[in-house]
Amino acid sequence: MSRSDEESTIGTRTGSIEAIHVASGTGGDPEPRESVEAVAGRGLKGDRYYRGDGLYNERDDLEPSDVTLIEAEALAAAAADYGVELDPGAHRRNVTTRGVALNHLVGERFRVGEVVLEGLALCEPCGYMASLADAPDAATALEHRGGLDARIVDSGTIRVGDDVVW
């Protein structure tokens, strides 16, 4: 599929990128970034998944993700509904979005800045994330709203403030 054909499959609904985080190793502290290079089939430069060091949301029927996303609205709901307030990046997801219903993007291609992603599966929270965040209720608070595992289809740069188009 050519890039122009690919773009024609992406709709016109838009949201935005609110934050970007990478962690250099498994269990490493997430570091905020204003921008990051996304490499198809590898992940985000500087992140644990790019280097193959991350603990994946492994499933027999699904390839490991290159990037993970979470909704700012889900984080606000976790705080409101469960009193779970996570520090920036403590959710262990790479990209925080606003105005994007990530659960609806499983199996869909969408654009983040100049990068094309494909949603693979919901990124359900785990006890490991909750322990690193020192928030025992975080996995429960983010159940079914823990974000999206995605693969990078077309490489490029993702920047804070970029549009998300699906």
Please give the single-letter amino acid code of residue 109: R
CATH number of 3-165: 2.40.33.20
Burial label for 69, CB within 10 Å (0-12, 13-18, 19+), is: buried
Which helix (H) or strand (E) segment is 140 a member of?
helix 138-141
- Check residue 38 and give its pLDDT: 98
pLDDT reported for residue 88: 81
pLDDT computed for residue 119 by the predictor: 97
pLDDT at 24: 84
Query: What pLDDT score was predicted for residue 9?
Result: 60
For tokens 């599929």, what's the residue? 1
Q: What is the mean pLDDT of each run of 10 residues along the chain (166 residues)?
A: 53 90 82 97 90 60 82 92 83 92 96 96 72 66 86 98 96
Query: Is the Cβ–Cβ distance between 160 and 15 less than 8 Å?
Result: no
CA distance 25 to 30: 9
Q: Do residues 43 and 50 make contact, with C-beta atoms less than 8 angstroms apart?
A: yes
Q: Where are the domains of the chain?
A: 3-165
Q: What is the pLDDT of residue 140?
A: 77
Separation of CA 25 from chain center: 17
Residue 131 is predicted with a pLDDT of 56
Q: What is the pLDDT of residue 86?
A: 82
